[in-house]
Structure 1
């Protein structure tokens, strides 16, 4: 455990220290998030945090490769998987950087995501055994297709939910912590003499990266992770889930505890419950309206939280709570009987509902946004007249809208539709 905690700390420190560099690169390369009608931020914001997150992954993984404790993870058999995840992360980071700068169309982005997922699969990160009654995917082609599909869904799920300052990073940090404890517990029971695990390593690093990025990204954000970051952490989460799938020897757990042991994908689904739910509802909503699944709107879960009356910060924290309820409830099945887990999950669901729909929406000053605004923490990006700027966010890319000057007043819960595009340069 101490080794994983050390690597988590290294990942957090590297990401925290390199984020200002990523912000500088974003400004120099015009990777800026424009203000669009559906957005909740009021000033153009650099959005290349994924670059710092990638560095935060590479450095601790390189360090881990030199540690005797993790020697088995970087053996001839498993090393391609570890570097496959890192390589896939680099590919989606480059793809996200291009999208943040040039606003790629959805087909190009999807092709890039499939390329990254395919690279990981070719390095051995594949779903081969689905531990449901011993089912094995016998076709290598089917294994490749299923693997790519799972990775692409995970990337886009995180991408969809990345709509409020600190939301995606916090959700993945909380869910990743639960997933890390889950994989570490399973490793203890499956191989008592060796706690080294590729899944635990990647999850520890991913949690550290998200924690290191949050101080720069929590409202009011000085930088966004952009597609480069959201796709990156989604890919790492999927890679960790895939590497642990099928690696649990039969018989180590019995009864109700066999569920989390033999369906390791249960926890990633619980961790990404909010992103997956948001993505699913968005696709259904848009198709029902006769629109493209990638068409932008202001009906995401985080938009609905603001519409309920919550401040930006409070909405994010409450969504953190929901993530913790789902993720830690699933992880708890490894250690406790399902009856006990169900009772406590019900209690926490009720508390989360009270926080979401109760009087906290309109009373008190708990995590009010104006506290940050009054303290002068609103990030500022210089703006001058000159060249048109456009940007996209996640799967909802592609509308150029008039920018507004930096403000120190509280952000409203909803913005009126922006006027026609104007020409501006961000220096």
Structure 2
């Protein structure tokens, strides 16, 4: 565990150190996010944070390859280098979009090509828990792997709308998944886990970036960063799935075997939910699925009265609840997990809706006072009218 913490610290420190240089480069080459109608920020801000995150991740992987406990992961196979190569490619694609605002179909095609390359390089889902664990054919494995990577990339991209939101959600999910992959690795002869290594390095880069991205942000991650994070967290989950042998897994651990596919969806539940809602919303209006708008979850949080910071913290809370709730159910009694989940849900629901009701209560009181005043006025008119009838 200390080795993984060291790797996370290396990734975070390297990311934090290079961000000022990356910000300077972004300004020099014109990678500055102009204020658009759908944006929350009010001043142009450099966006190329993904480059710094990639550097931090690469530095952490380089140090890891020299540590005896982990070096075997780089010598016995080439998955680690394939993942790193895919990270470079996906970050370069995002940088191109940050600079030239690529057409969404071209960007999607690039994501698909990179995902297929990574899958062809050996990072793919080899088994599917469908009723019982069954081995997937190579072509099906590549297709499912590419789909999951592309979906996760775009889910994180969709949720990247507030300072610190995407990096925080991915870091929370990465911590939950790192714990899971570490526990899985402990039951194997070799404690070293590539999935845990990727997760802790990714979490470190997120923390290092957040020090520059917390509101008001000095630098945005851009598509280069959001696509990189979605790619890395999915690769980590796929590596865990690749460790499972359908012939050796007993049905008594069916749920833990199913979790490598289920947990990535749960740790990215908010981004995936936001992406699905956006696609359905835009298609129902006859628009492209990638057509921008101001109807994302974070936009709705701001609309009901939250500040940027409070909206980010509450959405982090929801992400943590779903991620760690789905993890705890594997190791604790479902009843206890359910009670804790219910209590946390009530607290987060109150925190989410509090600004709305705080704003609505005075409005309701004013409306009630107005109605009472009108009612009193009508009653007075009736009394005066009745008195005039008596005089007559």
TM-score if structure 1 supplies the norm length? Answer: 0.81
Counterpart of 1:340? Answer: 336
Q: CA deviation at 1:254?
A: 6.7
Q: Report the Cα distance in structure 2 between the residues aligned to 1:280 and 1:112, rounded to whole angstroms.
A: 21
Q: Report the Cα distance in structure 2 between the residues aligned to 1:21 and 1:265, rounded to whole angstroms.
A: 38
Q: CA deviation at 1:118?
A: 1.6
Which deviations, in whole Å up to 9, do the C-alpha atoms of 1:148-184 show, x marking residues without a partner?
A: 1110000000000000000000111111111111111
Q: Report the Cα distance in structure 1 between the residues aligned to 2:234 and 2:85, rounded to whole angstroms.
A: 14
Q: CA deviation at 1:333?
A: 2.3
Report which of the two structures shows the higher radius of gyration computed on alpha carbons: 2
| 8 Å contact from structure 1 (residues 48, 224) kept in 2 | yes
Counterparts of 1:211-290 in structure 2, within 5 Å, are 211-248=207-244, 255=252, 258-290=254-286
Which deviations, in whole Å up to 9, do the C-alpha atoms of 1:50-109 show, x marking residues without a partner?
A: 000000110110111111101331133x3x211111111111111111111111001110
Counterpart of 2:163? Answer: 165
Counterpart of 1:39? Answer: 39
Counterparts of 1:347-386 in structure 2, within 5 Å, are 347-359=343-355, 362=358
1:85 and 2:116 matched = no
| 8 Å contact from structure 2 (residues 90, 227) kept in 1 | yes
Counterpart of 2:320? Answer: 324
- Per mean C-alpha deviation after superposition, the further-off stretch among 106-115 and 334-343 is 334-343
User: Could you tell me which of 75, 95, 103 is aligned with 1:97?
Assistant: 95
| 8 Å contact from structure 1 (residues 11, 209) kept in 2 | yes
Q: Report the Cα distance in structure 2 between the residues aligned to 1:82 and 1:89, rounded to whole angstroms.
A: 11
| 8 Å contact from structure 1 (residues 180, 204) kept in 2 | yes
| 8 Å contact from structure 1 (residues 81, 123) kept in 2 | yes
1:9 and 2:22 matched = no
Distance 1:359 1:249, change over 3 A: same
Q: Report the Cα distance in structure 1 between the residues aligned to 2:158 and 2:178, rounded to whole angstroms.
A: 23
Residue 75 of structure 2: SS of its match in structure 1? coil
* Higher helix proportion (structure 1 or 2): 2
Q: Report the Cα distance in structure 1 between the residues aligned to 2:28 and 2:313, rounded to whole angstroms.
A: 32
Distance 1:9 1:362, change over 3 A: farther
Counterpart of 2:181? Answer: 183
Which deviations, in whole Å up to 9, do the C-alpha atoms of 1:177-236 show, x marking residues without a partner?
A: 1111111111113x1x42100100000000000000001001000000000000001000
Counterparts of 1:19-58 in structure 2, within 5 Å, are 19-58=19-58
Distance 1:361 1:70, change over 3 A: farther
| 8 Å contact from structure 2 (residues 304, 356) kept in 1 | no
TM-score if structure 2 supplies the norm length? Answer: 0.88
| 8 Å contact from structure 1 (residues 310, 362) kept in 2 | no
Residue 73 of structure 2: SS of its match in structure 1? coil
| Structure 2: unaligned runs, 5 residues or longer | 360-392
| 8 Å contact from structure 1 (residues 131, 246) kept in 2 | no
Q: Of the two structures, which has the highest relative contact order with CA contacts closer than 8 Å and spacing of 6 or more?
A: 1
Q: CA deviation at 1:247?
A: 1.7
Residue 131 of structure 1: SS of its match in structure 2? strand
Q: CA deviation at 1:359?
A: 4.9
Counterparts of 1:277-316 in structure 2, within 5 Å, are 277-316=273-312
| 8 Å contact from structure 1 (residues 35, 42) kept in 2 | yes
Q: Report the Cα distance in structure 2 between the residues aligned to 1:209 and 1:124, rounded to whole angstroms.
A: 25
| Structure 1: unaligned runs, 5 residues or longer | 364-427
- Root-mean-square deviation (CA), in Å? 1.6
Q: Report the Cα distance in structure 2 between the residues aligned to 1:75 and 1:125, rounded to whole angstroms.
A: 16
| 8 Å contact from structure 1 (residues 26, 47) kept in 2 | yes
Q: CA deviation at 1:253?
A: 7.5
Residue 74 of structure 1: SS of its match in structure 2? helix
Counterpart of 2:75? Answer: 75
